[in-house]
Amino acid sequence: MKIIMLGAPGAGKGTQAKMIAEKYGIPHISTGDIFRANIKNGTELGKEAKTYMDKGLLVPDELTVKLLLDRVAQKDCGNGYVLDGFPRTIPQAEVLDKALSGLGDRIDYAINVDVPDENIINRMSGRRACLSCGATYHLVHIPPKKEGICDNCGQPLVLRDDDKPETVKNRLQVYHEQTQPLIDFYTAKGVLKTVDGTQDMQDVFAAITAILD
């Protein structure tokens, strides 16, 4: 079961991806994690990605897909995987599609977690992140045990610049321009499924599992 998660930043697709991974025993794969792992392990692809990242440039689509294919070829992806945060654009989707076709493989489901912009702006202003270990929280939905402190490593939590209302509005604009067309792309392939992301987290998950089961 190969799944792609779609949805605007802050729609909750990352949380749902983790829950899907846990329930079905498949890895939750984000490109950020892949980049970090390859750079940490000093792989050739990691070194190549780092040259772009060090200059503040985006890693080219072809290289990202190479890193991704390297990851999904690993043993733990035998029963499938959940991709979170990739593809973000039509060119990325086409490169991924072509690469998977070459392996006689394809994406089974593209799950779109649909949330109106207004809800997202309100939701993201409640997010807090640990810059030390990468854990994320929400003041209402997933609060830390101790206010302002990470449960995992005890470091202070911050409101990232990414989650500030003015930044969120800009990110949503970019999303609608670049990523929204993916909905049409995967609809045309007959694999798109949309769930109402404004519901309670568990209700969203129930809607997703109803599709996957």
Q: Which residues are catalytic?
A: 13, 88, 127, 160, 171
Q: Taking the CA atoms of 32, 33, 34 and 36 in sequence, report the sign of the dihedral they define.
A: positive
Which tokens sit at 213?
A: 């089961």
Q: Which amino acid is at 31?
A: T
Contacts of 166 (CB under 8 A, 6+ apart): none
Q: Cα 69–40–13 angle (5° rounding)?
A: 55
Q: Which of 115, 107, 109 is nearest to 192 (CA)?
A: 109
Contacts of 134 (CB under 8 A, 6+ apart): none
**Rounded Cα gap, residues 112 and 1, in angstroms:** 16
**Rounded Cα gap, residues 23 and 15, in angstroms:** 13
Q: What share of the chain is helix, strand, coil (3-state, %, to 5)?
A: 50, 15, 35
Phi first, then psi: what are they for 42, rounded to 5°? 65, 30
